[in-house]
Chain A
Amino acid sequence: MAAPPRHVSMLSISNSNAGTPQSASSDKPQTPQPPSTPQQASGLRVPSNRKTIYDRHLNRSRNAELSRASFAYLFAEMVTYAQRRVTGIQDLEKRLNEQGYPLGLRLLDLLFYRSTSTSSSALSSSSTSSSPPNRPLRILPLLHLIHGPLWRLLFQRSADALEHSVSPDTPNEYMITDNDPLVNTYISVPREMNMLNCAAYIAGVIEGVCDGCGFEAKVSAHNQPTEMWPSRTVFLLRFGDSVMEREKVLERAGIK
């Protein structure tokens, strides 16, 4: 818990620094900002143009595209960072998974926020009866959510396949296939680590989404190359027993 005091002192320094040049530069002479006491008391720094994260619109970057080069660079750094502190491939994949998990939780909220706000705007323009999307209650809607909207949000296309395990011993296993995962495009795995699949990061994202919706699951990424798709990756979703039990109850209750 050494972080908060340091954080506060850092902010107070930047506050005192920002105070003098701002008045000197006088970029906004007509609005001399009054010293806002509640903000200062909590140690929160408010930007000089008053644009906090709450004033920005969440849909503004909706259709913006991220540079693939910068993403590849960033992701390579993330893999390197994770690799420095691990003992084996499994450990490395676990770390990548953990990095993706919080992203999954956030994407879930963002995804629903964006689809509600667009459906309401679509409602006014085209007057269709598109109700806000429902939270997934059963496994199948959840998988469709991941396969379709989530994949489109991340990669601008749907995933390539969605399968249920054919084995009767493992009814809790589902597979989502991506023929050419974006994260692996610029990664060539050394021969001695050929089990490694850096899409474990995406598996972490999926796990975050499942967990957020209340479906406890373990998700892992596996290489399944074909001749046409050398970096084909299968994401294996294993749902927990509690989920399968609830699934049975909900099925009996007739809830879709």
Chain B
Amino acid sequence: MPSPPLLALRGVCKRYGVVEVLTDIELEIHAGQVVALLGDNGAGKSTLVKVIAGVAPADKGVIEWEGRPVHIRRPHDAQDLGIATVFQDLALCGNLDVVGNLFLGREIRKFGFLDEVEMERHSLQLLKRLTRGIPDLRAPVVSLSGGQRQTVAIARSLLGEPRVLLLDEPTASLGIEQTGEVLDLVDRLRERGLGVLLISHNMGDVKALADRAAVLRLGRNNGFFDVNTASQEQIISSITGATENVPRRMVPREAGW
């Protein structure tokens, strides 16, 4: 029997006020696998990431970690399990320097005071592993370029030695070369046995990197694909809704007209 997935969602629902953003979502992430999460704008991709990260906890449904149900109510819960998140807006503090951002909320302390030397050393080691162009560690993040900020955000998520990494549109704001760097990085993380959930609009990225793809449409699952065997057309038609794998909610009422 195969080992249970690192992270599994079963029937997860999330509503904002009266709007049901996610309905009965199923998702599995295995170790050493990159799962692409695809969907049109407003399909609920970012909300799903927030649910898993504990920023916007689920209303209904079960989240399983290595086969046993867990509760993710706060960002802390997700971090403790080993789930790290890089949000689309990166969620960095622009006024803090690189080291300050990397260690925000889990500073290394010595006699109650921050141990800046130790933190800087760790940051340097970590960034060396990730990128060639290491930014000035003491410059405020607001003065870094978009790619450097992305690197800092990813580096921060890796600091706690996570087992699952959620990346929300990591390449959306990057140039070609920096995109390549980020994709290389994700590839290396997979080789190290991390489970990665990658949100992307770029089918090229998905084809190049992902093992499986899960498609959301209007807050519901609309198909799972093996990226290596499924054709691009199949996946895209699932995203756009040309193939409906789930009955739409509006159908009964429309039928009544």
Do chains A and B stick together as partners? no
Query: Which A residues have a C-beta under 8 Å from some C-beta of B?
Result: none
